[in-house]
Amino acid sequence: NAGVTQTPKFQVLKTGQSMTLQCAQDMNHEYMSWYRQDPGMGLRLIHYSVGAGITDQGEVPNGYNVSRSTTEDFPLRLLSAAPSQTSVYFCASSYPLTGGNSPLHFGNGTRLTVT
Amino acid sequence: DAKTTQPPSMDCAEGRAANLPCNHSTISGNEYVYWYRQIHSQGPQYIIHGLKNNETNEMASLIITEDRKSSTLILPHATLRDTAVYYCIVRLPNTGNQFYFGTGTSLTVIP
């Protein structure tokens, strides 16, 4: 298993540009989520999904959209990038959802800079 | 979810046990305690979790006090590769796996 794969690893955007951060997992996990991490801070939850076709907001959802059309993929979209979105983004997944105590598996992150 | 409090930083001599404390005084009866670590800027790595009983795996041991208001992660023989930020998280089961991370403890293992 490749685990959780995030692409790209690095990205530079200009203010106002749009882009999609990709996340894929090959573990048949029901649950997927996106976090951002800013310098000196912990991870903050952006959006999450408990299964295909179902998404919900986390702590810091503004400026981001998500969709979940398949179990494997959970892309994060920035429609109009802002410098405040400069951060490291992590995708995570977990299975099974029921049973209650499954740990999260993380990707290695996408480092985004918005100028 | 209950909040957690961890010291911002700790040092440990190589080969010695590293004991990382976490306070979670508002934990409820069915909230699990999880520990993750993050090395450099890699993705966080799961270490261990527990509910009431002490737990041990190949990476670490987790000691949870009887009143469950605090816990300690023990790395029995710290190596330089254990230098990382360690996060203690409490989470309700069946809540959509919403993990809320704080700022963690930065552990430095000293040669």
Local structure of A34: helix, strand or coil:
strand
Query: How far apart are alpha carbons B88 and B78 in whole angstroms?
Result: 18
For the four alpha carbons of A105, A108, A110 and B1, in that order, the dihedral sign comes to positive
Distances from the Cα of A18 to the Cαs of A64, A87, B19, in angstroms?
A: 10, 15, 45
Yes or no: say if B20 and B87 are a contact pair by the CB < 8 Å rule. Answer: no
Q: What are phi and psi of A98, to 5 degrees?
A: -75, 155
- pLDDT tens-digit series, residues A17-73: 999 999 999 988 888 999 999 987 788 889 999 889 999 998 899 999 999 999 999
pLDDT of residue B93: 61
Mean pLDDT (chain A) is 91
Of B87, B93, B96, the CB nearest to A50: B96
Q: What are phi and psi of B40, to 5 degrees?
A: 50, -125
CB contact under 8 A, A101 and B104: no
Q: In degrees to the nearest 10, what's the CA dihedral of A57, A58, A63, A69?
A: -50
CB contact under 8 A, A59 and B100: yes
- pLDDT tens-digit series, residues B36-82: 999 987 899 999 999 888 999 999 999 999 999 999 999 999 999 99
CB contact under 8 A, B98 and A101: no
Yes or no: say if A115 and A14 are a contact pair by the CB < 8 Å rule. Answer: yes
Distance from CA of A105 to the nearest CA of B (A): 7
